[in-house]
Amino acid sequence: MQGLTRLGCPRGALLGLALLVGVGACGSQTPERDTATLRYLVGSQPKNTEARLALARRAGEESRPGEALRELLWVHERQPLSGAGGRLLGELLAARGEQRLAIGDHGALADFRLAHEHGVNADAKKMSEARWLCAVAALRHSSTFRQKSAASCMAGQRDLDVRRRFDAITALELGEVEVLWDWFAGAGAKKRALAAAQQYVDLGGRDTIRLSQWRRLHHWWYGTSRPLLPVDAGAAAGKGRDVLVRFAKSLGLLVGTRLAAPETITADWGVPEWQPLIAEVVQAYRHDPALADRRAKRFADSSAYGVREAAILCELFYRLGDAKRVREWSQRVVDIAPSLPAAQEAAGLGHALEGNAERAGLFFTAAAAASGDGGETWARALRVYRHAGMSLPALDAGRKALGLTSRGWDMVLLVEVSMVQREMGRRAESEQTLDELWLRFDGAQRGPAQELVNNALNEKSPGQLATALGPIRHSLGF
Query: If you write DSSP's letter for every residue of 128-155 in order, what string do you get?
Result: HHHHHHHHHHHHHSS-HHHHHTHHHHTT
Residues 471 and 364 in one domain: yes
Regarding predicted confidence, which is higher, 183 or 9?
183
How far apart, in whole angstroms, are the C-alpha atoms of residue 422 and residue 359? 25
Could you tell me if 195 and 287 lie in one domain?
Answer: no
Domain boundary among 62, 95, 122: 122
255 domain residue, yes or no: no
Average pLDDT over residues 117-135: 85
Contact between residue 351 and residue 327 where contact means Cβ atoms under 8 Å apart:
yes
pTM above 0.75, yes or no: no
- Domain for residue 256, yes or no? no
Is the per-residue pLDDT at 253 higher than 50?
no
Q: Do both 268 and 185 map to the same domain?
A: no
Report the number of distinct structural domains present in the chain: 3
Q: pLDDT digits over 321-355, tens only?
A: 888 998 999 999 888 888 888 888 889 988 998 89
User: Do 44 and 143 lie in a common domain?
Assistant: no
Instruction: Tell me: do 105 and 152 sit in the same domain.
Output: no
Mean pLDDT of all residues in 43-50: 88
Co-location of 114 and 142 in the same domain:
no
**CA nearest neighbour of 182 among 219, 149, 213:** 213
Domain C-terminal end among 92, 122, 152: 122
Specify if 249 maps to a domain.
no
Residues 203 and 316 occupy one common structural domain: no
pLDDT of residue 305 exceeding 60, the answer is: yes
Single out the residue of 110, 126, 25 nearest to residue 73, CA to CA: 110
Q: For residues 427 and 323, give the distance between their C-alpha atoms in angstroms, rounded to a whole number.
A: 31
Domain that holds residue 67: 2-122
Q: What distance lies between CA 174 and its chain's CA centroid?
A: 32
Instruction: Tell whether 144 and 97 lie within a shared domain.
Output: no
Q: Are 310 and 422 part of one and the same domain?
A: yes
Does any domain span residue 252? no
Whether residues 213 and 286 fall in one domain: no
Q: Determine which of 43-57, 93-107, 179-193, 436-450 has the lowest per-residue pLDDT on average.
A: 436-450
Q: Which of 87, 103, 122 is the last residue of a domain?
A: 122
Q: Is residue 241 part of a domain?
A: no
Q: What is the pLDDT of residues 417-470, one digit of tens each?
A: 988 998 899 999 999 998 888 887 777 777 777 777 777 677 644 444 445 555
Same domain? 437 vs 464: yes
Does 28 have pLDDT greater than 60?
no
Higher per-residue pLDDT: 452 or 181: 181
Residue 127 in domain: no
